[in-house]
Amino acid sequence: MTRDEIREGVLSALSDIAPEADPSTLRFDTDLRDQLDIDSMDSLNFAIGIHEQLQVDIPETDWARLYTLDEVIDYVVQKTAA
């Protein structure tokens, strides 16, 4: 899976929990929770969406340290490379 495919899968999962989010205006290096006012339930649903889109599990212990879209994408890239 390429980084672009992972990026698209992550953005697709994000659109399920924040349909109002415009990917063209999102900052990939800024805390996602602040940008979109995402709460803990949204974060859980985002992790589930990533699993459904990309077949990558993100344990709750790891989710707590993934703040930006760049961090989420890097994490999934590392998981799929392993």
Q: Please report, for the chain, the start and end positions of each structural domain, with discontinuous segments joined by +.
A: 3-18+31-81
Which pTM was predicted?
0.91
Return the sign of the alpha-carbon dihedral for residues 8, 29, 50, 19.
negative
Q: How many CB atoms lie within 10 A of CB 65?
A: 8
pLDDT of the residue at 82: 75
Mean pLDDT of all residues in 6-32 = 94
pLDDT band at 80 (very low <50, low <70, confident <90, very high): very high
Percent of the chain with pLDDT strictly greater than 90:
72
The CATH architecture one would assign to domain 3-18+31-81 is Orthogonal Bundle (1.10)
